[in-house]
Structure 1
Amino acid sequence: MSTTQSERLRELLEPLVSSKDLDLEEIEVASVGRKRVLRVVIDSDEGVDLDEIAEVSRELSAKLDEDDVMGEGEYTLEVGSPGAERPLKEHRHFVRATDRLARFWLTPDAGGGELVARILKVDDEGLDLEVPGVKGRKPTARRLAFTEIARARVEIEFSRKSKSPENIENAEEA
């Protein structure tokens, strides 16, 4: 997809999404066989539910029908949320992931490698994390600057423990 089309799509769709107090996270035009698919990802601090996605989808479809930004050919519009293992790219993504477990790929300056930790607090410079203990050890606290993060994403937790003040205090003492 050309940068021009991407910019035009964003300019056309972002005001409508923003008017719903939602963020336009991603726009992608992909070819699937002979068909084109326009994927639009939306989110908010509270997340999005299926009713919001359906409403935005109808309104985006009407808006796209009024404009020629997608050209004359047929395409399918798919509107959705970032998903369970969402990538964390923007500051707001990290804020939304507070109290969630995340996987971080560290920059070479930060020692490289991967780190899995719970995001406890986010500020302008970085994150306060709780690194789970291994083999019965207590969790430890760690500070990670945004400049040390090459990429990050939320981890799926099937048996998430509830947040307890005792665990946080122990992590802060370590």
Structure 2
Amino acid sequence: MTQDNSITAIESLVKELLPENEDIFLVSVKIKPTNNIKIFLDADSGLSIEKCIKINRALYKVIEEKGWYPDGDFSLEVSSPGLDEPLKLLRQYKKNIGRNVEVTLNDDKKQEGKLLAVNEETVTLEQHEGKGKKAITKITGIPFADIRQTKIQIVF
């Protein structure tokens, strides 16, 4: 099985295993050459470690039963993407409305601001420029087509 076929097959299995009555969704699947399978899930209401463990165990069992990796020659990790991973899905953007983000554009320019809104075509940021009495707030719409990646910014 090729790398792309493996990823597609595992994505299919994960989607079948996700509980229908919960808001958990698949973000991505990565497979390293060492057969290390990484599944990134998210949930609109937050993803607990218990849910990750439950899905990991169920998925591990199905992969073993299908015999895709002879002699159990694979490892499996199921987790949420973490703050260092860029947002990939519209659903992730919606979940993070109200948070500060850094958007890297296709021309390598970066824009930072509070994520105010998102739709299928555009993300809307609230940006502050200047300080004190000269401070201005501007609202900027950025088309998804112009975005290379978006990361959540942690504010301390």
SS in 2 for 1:132: strand
Q: Do 2:13 and 2:59's aligned partners in 1 also have CA atoms closer than 8 Å? A: no
Amino acid corresponding to residue 116 of structure 2 in structure 1: L
Call closer, same or farther: CA 1:157–1:23 in 2, change over 3 Å.
same
1:87-112 CA distances to partner (integer Å, 9 max, x unpaired)? 1222112111100111111234xxx5
Count of matched residue positions in the alignment of Structure 1 and Structure 2: 152
Match of 1:123 among 119, 130, 141: 119
Mark the runs of 5 or more structure 2 residues left unpaired by the alignment.
none
Partner of 1:166: none
CA RMSD of superposed structures (Å): 2.0
Partner of 1:52: 51
- Give the deviation of 1:134 after TM superposition: 3.6
Partner of 1:97: 96
TM-score for both structures, normalised by structure 1: 0.76
Partner of 1:144: 142
Q: Do 1:42 and 1:81's aligned partners in 2 also have CA atoms closer than 8 Å? A: yes
Identity %, equivalent residues: 22
Q: Do 1:41 and 1:81's aligned partners in 2 also have CA atoms closer than 8 Å? A: yes
SS in 2 for 1:139: strand
Mark the runs of 5 or more structure 1 residues left unpaired by the alignment.
159-174
1:17-49 CA distances to partner (integer Å, 9 max, x unpaired)? 253542111111214xxx531111111111201
1:83-142 CA distances to partner (integer Å, 9 max, x unpaired)? 02331222112111100111111234xxx5110111111123212211133444243221
Call closer, same or farther: CA 1:101–1:70 in 2, change over 3 Å.
farther
Partner of 1:6: 7
